[in-house]
Amino acid sequence: MIGSSEGGKWGLQQYGRIAHSCRPDTRHPTPENHQGLFLKRFWNSILSISPVSGMLPHFGFDQIRIGANMKRIVIAVCALGMSCVVSTVFAEAGPKINEAIAKMKCVTPKQPRKVLLYSRTKGFRHRSIPVGILALTELGKKTGAFSVEATEDPAAFTTENLARFDGIIMLNTTGDAIPRGAAREALETYLQGDKGLIGIHAATDCHADWENYREAMGGLFNGHPWNAGSLVTLFNEEPDHPICKHIETGYQIKDEIYQFKDDKHFTRDKLRMLLSLDLSGENMKKGGMKRKDHDYAVSWVRKYGGSRVFYSSLGHNDFTYYNVKALQHYLNGIQFALGDLEADARPSAAVGNGTARPLPAGF
């Protein structure tokens, strides 16, 4: 069980991982490769990964007008304090995650699977990221479907390193989470093989200038008329599809739902829509709805290169990660992307579902 003790241990492990990733590169000595650079990187990292980061002022390291030794003490205290916050968060979420995972249905993987879970943010940072990491890690471990290696270090994106993984989960990544250049080229090469790409929530709110990423993921964020407190009604576009057949039309969940840019990437000619919003549900009409075709998809699959892609815009709130139906949807989608769950990924247009449903009467 994930309790306060295990949650605290997990939190300290994350800060240890951050400390490791922030070490200066001593193989190539430069004026920057000194203890001060480590402290600066570590300060910025512990602020960014904190579960309460959205509520914290992001003071730059250089803005702290105290001596170097005192800075080390401040950072150590912050790291310890934030690990305690992590412990508290997981003490609350852990048992609920365990309870949800116990209800999961999983297909037996064809071989041991390993996924890279990447959650780096260069824009808005979701406070649910630590809970999401924990839930997906435990989901894979307890079902036996996959193991997780979580990181926020863009240095993970090399051709050699990515070859170790069957799939990559982009968890609430924002901005230029994967740097331009060799790292992006490594992902593009990776996706030409028999691999999996999984996007959760803000995985479509990043890399706006990266055409191939947008094509692979299937869309680009264009606002969220349904915010984190919205109780939204879902419509199951594919009631017999193995990834979403457990979710009935009319099911309601409280989460922030994205709409996507009207472009060549987000189209039923390329994507197999699974879930969308049921606009006939209560309080579904919101200001800021932009799509003229009324296509407000929530999740989809597609083939890209030699790989399989699953995306779901669910995942803003902590409690989404221990919602049984959402977690089962993630598991099914991940197992599809890894090649263990057989599922039809032909585009919606190819199977007679080429347009979104018309608006309900009086909408």
Give yes or no: residues 245 and 333 share one domain.
Answer: yes
Give yes or no: residues 187 and 224 share one domain.
Answer: yes
Is residue 258, in this structure, part of any structural domain at all?
yes
Give yes or no: residues 323 and 218 share one domain.
Answer: yes
Give yes or no: residues 83 and 139 share one domain.
Answer: no
Domain count, the chain: 2
What pLDDT sits at residue 50? 47
Is residue 97, in this structure, part of any structural domain at all?
no
Give yes or no: residues 204 and 302 share one domain.
Answer: yes
Q: What is the pLDDT of residues 298-327, one digit of tens each?
A: 999 999 999 999 999 999 999 999 999 999
Domain end (from 59, 91, 123): 91
Domain end (from 57, 91, 125): 91
What pLDDT sits at residue 362? 85
pLDDT value at 128 more than 70: yes
Give yes or no: residues 277 and 190 share one domain.
Answer: yes
Backbone angles phi, psi at 254, to 5 degrees: -95, 110
Residue of 78 and 208 predicted with greater confidence: 208
Is residue 96, in this structure, part of any structural domain at all?
no
CB 3 within 8 A of CB 96: no
Give yes or no: residues 148 and 283 share one domain.
Answer: yes
Taking residues 57-78, what's their average pLDDT?
55
Taking residues 54-68, what's their average pLDDT?
47
Domain end (from 53, 70, 91): 91
pLDDT value at 20 more than 70: no
Dig out the tokens for 178 from the structure: 């994967």
Is residue 356, in this structure, part of any structural domain at all?
no
Residue 66 C-beta-side C-alpha neighbours within 13 Å: 10
Is residue 183, in this structure, part of any structural domain at all?
yes
Taking residues 76-85, what's their average pLDDT?
59
Give yes or no: residues 47 and 143 share one domain.
Answer: no
What pLDDT sits at residue 350? 98
Indicate which CATH number applies to the domain containing 109.
3.40.50.880
What pLDDT sits at residue 185? 98
Taking residues 36-63, what's their average pLDDT?
47
Give yes or no: residues 231 and 87 share one domain.
Answer: no
Q: What percent of the chain has pLDDT over 90?
A: 73
Give yes or no: residues 129 and 62 share one domain.
Answer: no
Is residue 359, in this structure, part of any structural domain at all?
no
Give yes or no: residues 127 and 276 share one domain.
Answer: yes
Taking residues 15-31, what's their average pLDDT?
44
Is residue 110, in this structure, part of any structural domain at all?
yes
What pLDDT sits at residue 299? 98
Continuous segment of H or E residues that includes residue 304 = strand 297-304
Is residue 98, in this structure, part of any structural domain at all?
no
Q: What is the pLDDT of residues 213-234, one digit of tens each?
A: 999 999 999 999 999 999 999 9
What pLDDT sits at residue 89? 64
Domain that holds residue 288: 103-351
Dig out the tokens for 142 from the structure: 């307890």
**Among the ranges given (82-91, 161-170, 222-231, 240-249), the one the predictor scored with the smallest mean pLDDT:** 82-91
Q: Who contacts 176 (Cβ-Cβ below 8 Å, separation ≥6)?
A: 122, 206, 207, 209
Give yes or no: residues 36 and 63 share one domain.
Answer: yes
Q: What is the pLDDT of residues 256-280, one digit of tens each?
A: 999 999 999 999 999 999 999 999 9
Taking residues 342-363, what's their average pLDDT?
95
Helices (H) and strands (E) in the chain, counts: 8, 9
Tell me the whole-structure pTM to 2 decimals.
0.82
What pLDDT sits at residue 249? 98
Dig out the tokens for 122 from the structure: 């260069």
- Quote the mean pLDDT of the chain: 85
